[in-house]
């Protein structure tokens, strides 16, 4: 598929946004998309980098026509009336003046309606932003869900510590494209949805290493900075906390002796440090080290390119990027936490104020200590997936898949027999566990009370044929080479003759099912599933804060309001429903197919019923979904997960109770 006739809107803010987003902008253009870049008018010049690089863009506020301004006025009046009752009821708001609160909220209201007008006028097919953790990210997310527009996000930088903000990293995203396994693990710990994550690598770093590392580029950069060709360079990569430190005594102690090594010191300051602070500290550093080169807005990759050694101050993305450029890394602990992040990872040597530069001098003489190179390779693999120059290509493949209309509704079903009135069919994939399959078959023979029923076994494992040859009873065996659960269910349904069809994973024990077949008539039905110790396994399917379907396991949660879908390993579906929706969607990962068919039924006005009086047990879990984190790096695996969120974009239920969702994350 190409992206012809697709309009993709990119939200751009700080300069590091352009660094990561513009390669994608150029990529979607090459594949035929129409690109629309927008930003906000705020107290920081977000548009500056776009202007420098010659990109056209629009501001939200440009869409404030007469109708939009009227909506803003009406919403503002309603909001202010409610907010005055709220803001004095929580001590947290004492941290912000009424002026700051008013400015922040009024800006959000204005931009919300301007952005909505932008959507109406521009006919946008997809939003892309670096991440959704800012107010703008949430405005885009909410409106993308409201209008059914896919929303693709990336990550802001190197995520090197656990913070609460990561818990809202995937709330509205259709797909969240991350650099590597390390990021995915941190986000998952914060309860972001691995189901939405796709590991693509860093869309800038792998190409940048090749582009910046040419001999001609190095010569040009040295000339720009006034560094002679033979002079060695040590760069100091300053994080935000160190970038605001005005204590001359600490800087003098730290830099003492660096001039004795014969290297040119180059400081790359953190770009978000307030300019007045930077100017004051710059003067102080120049007084301590007169030959130092100190840079604020200069391209950091140019600094890395000419560096022979890099010293990272605290925690900044440039630390891991220096390693990607193949530079020996040294680290000064975080200013406030005292944490030796890169040292603890085993990829950097520690520099401490007042203790000299002995380890750097030793490295200059004899090279890096044993083990650092190997540990660095492992870290880069976990952090950047593959430095193979194909991160943008992988990103574009995700974009195309989401926008491909043929990627949704990949199920197909062709019944081979007519339905027998009143008959119930049980379809069971054989799987590869004989004991689990026999447990399910035994439970049917002992507990099914329907007057007319049949069993259809779907086999795709040669070893299971021998098992079935020793099973007595009337059943239909269907052989197939397809292994996905949706495909196995569909092949079984095609051979079934029942009006109602109950799909069971092997290992499910059917215990009490009176009423299941009747409730499935004309729709879909499910029942509670419990573990052998009677603890809940699945009391229906709900949707969480991230729009992700999950098994309800709270005994008090299986009510009609919480149950949006049914399943968990056993689900009854009317034959006519399967025919109408095309069976189970074979393009989706196993864990989504039950929620998907329930959503398809509801979309058509058909009932989805949960029967608390029925009961099944999970003797053994089969076709278990591998944990999302363990499978994220597998090529193409993401399609079965992301395809679900793309298919139902703007239509998925959502639990907006953030406090319940965050749970223990909120404990101090």
Domains and CATH numbers, the chain: 7-203+661-666 (3.40.50.2000), 207-384 (3.40.50.2000), 420-625 (3.90.550.10)
CA distance 412 to 254: 68
Mean pLDDT of 118-132: 97
The lowest-confidence range among 132-141, 551-560, 576-585 is 551-560
DSSP helix/strand/coil, 179: coil
pLDDT exceeds cutoff 80 at 76: yes
Note the pLDDT tens digit of each residue in 607-632: 999 999 999 999 999 987 655 566 66
User: How high does pLDDT run on average in the chain?
Assistant: 92
DSSP conformational letter for 473: S
Note the pLDDT tens digit of each residue in 194-227: 999 999 999 988 788 888 989 999 999 999 999 9
Mean pLDDT of 393-407: 92
Beta strands in 292-370 (DSSP E): 293-295, 309-313, 329-332, 349-350
Percent pLDDT > 90 in the chain is 76
DSSP conformational letter for 552: -
Percent pLDDT > 70 in the chain is 95
Mean pLDDT of 415-441: 95
DSSP helix/strand/coil, 453: strand
**CA-closest candidate to residue 376, choices 340, 350, 347, 344:** 347
Is the pLDDT higher at 240 or at 633? 240
- pLDDT confidence of residue 633: 64
Q: Where are the alpha helices (DSSP H) in 6-59?
A: 15-30, 48-52
- pLDDT confidence of residue 94: 64
**CA-closest candidate to residue 137, choices 119, 150, 151:** 151
- Chain centroid offset of residue 613 CA: 38
CB 612 within 8 A of CB 528: yes
pLDDT exceeds cutoff 60 at 193: yes
> Which secondary-structure segment (H or E) carries 211?
helix 205-212
Burial track 81-114 (b if 16+ CB lie within 10 A, e otherwise): eeeeeebeeeeeeeeeeeeeeeeebebebbbbbb
- pLDDT confidence of residue 436: 96
pLDDT category at 90 given cuts 50, 70, 90 is: low
Per-range mean pLDDT, top range of 6-20, 209-223, 352-366, 520-534: 520-534
CA distance 580 to 510: 27
Phi, psi of 391, rounded to the nearest 5 degrees: -65, -40
Tokens 């002796």 belong to 257
- pLDDT confidence of residue 340: 87
pLDDT exceeds cutoff 60 at 554: yes
pLDDT exceeds cutoff 80 at 463: yes
Is the pLDDT higher at 335 or at 311? 311
CB 351 within 8 A of CB 340: no
In Å, what is the CA distance from 87 to each residue of 80, 91, 247, 609?
Answer: 10, 8, 38, 42
pLDDT exceeds cutoff 90 at 354: no
- pLDDT confidence of residue 560: 58
Note the pLDDT tens digit of each residue in 31-71: 999 999 999 987 778 888 899 899 999 999 999 999 999 99
Q: Where are the alpha helices (DSSP H) in 46-180?
A: 48-52, 66-86, 98-122, 135-147
- pLDDT confidence of residue 558: 47
DSSP helix/strand/coil, 450: coil
Virtual CA dihedral for 336, 342, 344, 345, nearest 10 degrees? Answer: 150
- pLDDT confidence of residue 630: 61
- Within 10 angstroms of residue 58's Cβ, the number of other Cβ atoms is 15
pLDDT exceeds cutoff 70 at 93: no
- pLDDT confidence of residue 44: 74
CA distance 656 to 545: 6
> Which secondary-structure segment (H or E) carries 287?
helix 275-288
Mean pLDDT of 531-539: 97
The lowest-confidence range among 81-90, 286-295, 313-322, 378-387 is 81-90
- pLDDT confidence of residue 89: 66
């Amino acid at each position: 598929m190409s992206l012809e006739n697709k309009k993709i809107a990119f939200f751009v803010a700080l300069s590091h946004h352009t660094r990561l987003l513009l390669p994608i902008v150029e990529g979607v253009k090459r594949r035929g998309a129409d690109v629309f870049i927008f930003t906000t008018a705020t107290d920081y010049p977000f548009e500056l980098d776009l202007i420098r690089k010659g990109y056209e863009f629009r501001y939200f506020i440009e869409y404030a026509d007469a109708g939009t301004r009227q909506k803003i006025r009406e919403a503002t009046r309603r909001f202010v009336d409610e907010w005055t009752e709220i803001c004095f009821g929580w001590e947290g708001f004492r941290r912000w003046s009424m002026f700051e609160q008013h400015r922040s909220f009024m800006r959000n209201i204005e931009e919300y309606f301007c952005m909505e007008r932008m959507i109406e006028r521009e006919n946008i097919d997809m939003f892309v932003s670096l991440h959704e953790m800012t107010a703008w990210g949430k405005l885009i997310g909410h409106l993308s869900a409201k209008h059914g527009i896919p929303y693709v996000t990336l990550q802001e930088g190197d995520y090197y510590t656990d913070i609460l903000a990561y818990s809202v990293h995937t709330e509205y995203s259709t797909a969240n494209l991350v650099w590597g396994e390390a990021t995915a693990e941190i986000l998952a710990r914060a309860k972001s949805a691995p189901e939405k994550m796709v590991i693509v690598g860093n869309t800038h770093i792998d190409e940048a290493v090749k582009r910046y590392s040419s001999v001609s580029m190095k010569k040009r950069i040295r000339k720009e900075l006034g560094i002679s060709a033979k002079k060695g360079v040590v760069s100091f990569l300053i994080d935000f906390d160190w970038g605001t430190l005005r204590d001359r005594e600490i800087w003098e102690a730290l830099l003492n002796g660096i001039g004795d090594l014969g290297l040119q010191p180059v400081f790359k300051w953190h770009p978000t440090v307030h300019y007045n602070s930077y100017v004051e500290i710059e003067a102080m550093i120049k007084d301590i080290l007169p030959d130092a080169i100190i840079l604020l807005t200069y391209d950091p990759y140019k600094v890395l390119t000419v560096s022979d050694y890099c010293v990272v101050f605290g925690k900044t993305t440039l630390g891991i990027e220096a390693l990607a450029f193949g530079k020996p890394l040294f680290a000064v602990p975080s200013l406030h936490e005292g944490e030796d992040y890169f040292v603890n990872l085993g990829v950097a040597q520690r520099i401490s104020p007042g203790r000299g530069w002995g380890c750097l001098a030793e490295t200059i003489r004899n090279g890096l200590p044993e083990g650092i190179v190997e540990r660095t390779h492992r870290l880069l693999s976990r952090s950047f997936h593959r430095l193979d120059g194909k991160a943008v290509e992988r990103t574009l493949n995700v974009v195309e898949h989401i926008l491909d209309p043929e990627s949704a509704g990949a199920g197909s079903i062709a019944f081979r027999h007519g339905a027998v009135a009143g008959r119930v069919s049980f379809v069971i994939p054989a799987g590869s566990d004989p004991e689990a399959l026999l447990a399910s078959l035994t439970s049917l023979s002992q507990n099914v009370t329907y007057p007319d029923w049949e069993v259809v076994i779907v086999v795709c494992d040669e070893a299971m044929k021998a098992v079935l040859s020793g099973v007595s009873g009337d059943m239909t065996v269907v052989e197939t080479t397809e292994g996905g659960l949706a495909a196995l269910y569909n092949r079984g349904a095609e051979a079934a003759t029942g009006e109602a069809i109950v799909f069971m994973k092997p290992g499910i024990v059917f215990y009490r099912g009176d009423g299941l077949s009747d409730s499935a008539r004309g729709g879909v039905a499910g029942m509670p599933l419990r573990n052998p110790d009677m603890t809940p396994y699945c009391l229906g399917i709900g949707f969480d804060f991230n729009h992700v379907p999950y098994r309800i396991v709270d005994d008090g949660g299986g009510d009609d309001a919480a149950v949006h879908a049914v399943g968990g390993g056993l689900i009854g579906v009317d034959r006519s429903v399967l025919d109408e929706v095309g069976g189970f969607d074979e393009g989706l990962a196993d864990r989504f197919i039950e929620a998907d068919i329930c959503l398809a039924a509801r979309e058509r006005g058909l009932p989805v019923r949960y029967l608390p009086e029925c009961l099944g047990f999970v003797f053994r879990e089969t076709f278990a979904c591998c944990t999302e984190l363990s499978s994220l790096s597998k090529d193409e695996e993401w399609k079965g997960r992301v395809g679900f969120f793309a298919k139902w974009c703007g239509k998925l239920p959502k639990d907006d109770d953030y406090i319940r969702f965050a749970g223990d994350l909120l404990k101090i």
